[in-house]
Amino acid sequence: ARTAAVIPAAGRGVRLGPGAPKALRALNGTPMLIHAVRAMAASRAVSLVVVVAPPDGAAEVKTLLDAHALPDRTDFVVVPGGDSRQESVKYGLDALPPGIDIVLVHDAARPLVPVDTVDAVIEAVRDGAPAVVPALPLADTVKEVEPAAVAGEVEPVVATPERARLRAVQTPQGFDRETLLRAHETVTDDVTDDASMVEQLGVRVVVVPGHEEAFKVTRPLDLVLAEAVLARRRL
Ligand code: C5P
């Protein structure tokens, strides 16, 4: 079974504050995207990495990948992204060659996922699960609210799901290629992850343990945490 990783990296990352597209922000001097690509290429099972670049930044991203040392056994392709994460992933899937039968989808915004987590996801797909997501239990209690029409207004609580049954989902999410393609061809609703599209097909999705270092770099404080994790790894 040959495995490819698709990395949607076409988002602007406005929540991180002003500056370059999020994936191109540096962590300890190296762009977040390069960390994410290395995290996928670190798995011996991954033979191809497809990077989905900002539509006007594909050439820049190609130059960036060429400038950083990446393992010889892994191929790289850069394609331009779309207006939504979902569309960007679709363009990445369109670039997959024949012979790939397992696909990982990994957010560039999760640059520090450990290789053991990547391998655990691939392993579960190889063992027969059509869709696999790494996830962690929640520390916070989660409330469902009626979202305020105007930011800053109070929001009525609608429900409190039982925390022990909730999981915070990470990436890479792993899929049987045919299943993921079918999901992207069939589901048109707005979604925030790929597994939910597969769920809408009625296909079973399973969870494997995620990792705290697979957190998503979203807000300025996350950059501080990411650099601290990198510094600790170098010790
Ligand atoms: O916005 P969010 O943090 O959910 O984005 C998750 C991932 O999807 C990021 O890696 C981002 O670069 C990517 N993305 C994309 N194309 C878009 C929007 C987001 O590839 N149009």
Q: How far apart are CA 8 and CA 107, in angstroms?
A: 6
- The protein residue whose alpha carbon is closest to atom 7 in ligand 1 is 107
Q: How far apart are CA 176 and CA 167, in angstroms?
A: 22
Instruction: Judge whether residue 23 has pLDDT over 90.
Output: no
**Binding site membership of 52 for ligand 1 (Cβ less than 6 Å):** yes
**Mean of pLDDT values over 87-111:** 97
The predicted complex's ipTM stands at 0.95
Contact status, residue 6 vs residue 104, Cβ threshold 8 Å: yes
pLDDT digits (tens, 9 = 90+) for 191-221: 999 999 999 999 999 999 999 999 999 999 9
pTM of the model: 0.95
Cα 235 to averaged position of ligand 1 atoms, centre (Å): 31
Structural domains of the chain sorted by starting position, each given as residue range(s) with its CATH number in brackets: 2-233 (3.90.550.10)
**Binding site membership of 190 for ligand 1 (Cβ less than 6 Å):** no
